[in-house]
Amino acid sequence: MELEAFPVAWCLVDPLGRRITGLVRRDFYSSIKPVGDSGILGSIIARCDAHTLRLAMLYTVLSNTLKIGKDQLKAAISFWQYCQRSAQWALGQQTGNRMADRILWALSNESLGMTRSEIRQEIFSRNCANIALDIALSALVNAELAYVKHEQIPGARRKVERWFAGNKQT
């Protein structure tokens, strides 16, 4: 990431009353903002731009300077990327919905996928309301962690939903 041009200016006052100024490129935020993260991980890392800027300010104060330089900004970005990788490792593919997480675990162990009936029977022992199952499956689809294929079974009047772990594009 090149940090040569800094067209957006800002200023703040530290606890000792000193003015700290900085300039940040307009595309700085898009360069560190994660794309497509959702679920628990997405909500945790959603404010990465603000946290990175705060870290850069901290590094500026600790280095006893009054302007955020490239070194402080690079250090803040590196630390943020480390935090993001740690959160991804710790949380994996959790959605925040317990039912959705159970379904995802079962789907990831079934290469042939599972029908809605199999999900209800094998994962929840037929003890699952339709609306709760719909919400859990929707959470997986919205997080791009699962997808559905509609298939016609011989002798059946309507198509059957078969669910798979992963993203449909992959």
Number of neighbours of residue 88 by Cβ within 10 angstroms = 15
Give which of 16, 9, 3 is closest to 62, Cα–Cα: 16
Query: Any idea what DSSP says for residue 15?
Result: T
Tens of pLDDT, residue by residue over 95-111, are 778 899 899 999 999 98
Q: Are 25 and 8 in contact (CB under 8 A)?
A: yes
Across the strands, what pairs with 142? Answer: none
Per-residue pLDDT tens over the stretch 20-62: 555 555 455 555 555 455 567 777 777 777 788 888 888 888 8
Question: pTM of the full predicted structure?
Answer: 0.54
Judging by DSSP bridges, how do beta strands 114-115 and 19-24 pair with one another?
unpaired
Question: How far apart (Å, rounded) are the C-alpha atoms in residues 76 and 2?
Answer: 15
More confident residue, 168 or 119: 119
What is the chain's mean pLDDT, rounded?
78
Taking the C-alpha atoms of residue 16 and residue 55, their distance in angstroms, rounded to an integer, is 18
| Residue burial 102-115, b: 16+ Cβ < 10 Å; e: rest | ebbebbeeeeebbb
Domains of the chain: 8-91 (no CATH), 98-165 (1.10.10.10)
